[in-house]
Amino acid sequence: MSPIKAVLKQILNEAKTALEEYFQETKNTLKQQLKKLLIFGIVTSILLAVAISLIGSAALFFLIGSLRYLETFLPAWQAWLLIGATALIVAIALLIVLSLIIWRQFRSSKPKIVKESKQQSDCEVTKN
């Protein structure tokens, strides 16, 4: 083997080793971050479920209290109808608000990708 080949082979082996170490380090860092993210997601979903349960219970007690109050001066069927209509309106309003939030999240993430690809195509046009 000529000395140039040996030196070149040694340099390539060192580069290969350095890249493997870098990839392994990056892989370990990514695993740690994903583990933290997974734990955060689980804890957040549990807390969100508890919060929704508490809010639902509070709303139920509020509606029952309102129903009992309305039954003091309205017939029971009118009180139930009024509380049911109120609950329906609140539920529809919540669904609309949540739908708008989700729709905006999806809409705001898509144009960023389009803008990046548009900028790349603009750069390619100016290069040509």
Given a contact cutoff of 8 angstroms between Cβ atoms, the answer to whether 80 and 67 are in contact is yes
Interior angle at CA 74, CA 73 and CA 80, nearest 5: 135
Q: Percent of the chain at pLDDT above 90?
A: 19
Query: Is residue 19 very low, low, confident or very high in pLDDT (cuts 50, 70, 90)?
Result: very high
What's the mean per-residue pLDDT of the chain?
Answer: 83
Which residue, among 95, 99, 98, has the nearest Cα to 87 in the 3D structure? Answer: 95
Sequence-ordered list of residues with C-beta below 8 angstroms from that of 82, at least 6 positions apart, any chain: 70, 74
d(CA 50, CA 47): 5
Q: What is the pTM of this model?
A: 0.47
Print the domain residue range for 126: 75-128
Same domain, yes or no: 89 and 54: no
For residue 111, pLDDT beyond 80 = no
Same domain, yes or no: 60 and 96: no
For residue 124, pLDDT beyond 70 = no
Got the DSSP string for 59-109? Answer: HHHHHHHHHHHHTTTS-HHHHHHHHHHHHHHHHHHHHHHHHHHHHHHHHHH
Same domain, yes or no: 66 and 117: no
pLDDT of residue 32: 92
Total number of domains in the chain: 2
User: Of 25, 49, 70, which marks where a domain is finished?
Assistant: 70
Same domain, yes or no: 46 and 89: no
Same domain, yes or no: 1 and 63: yes
d(CA 88, CA 12): 70
Same domain, yes or no: 20 and 35: yes
Same domain, yes or no: 85 and 51: no
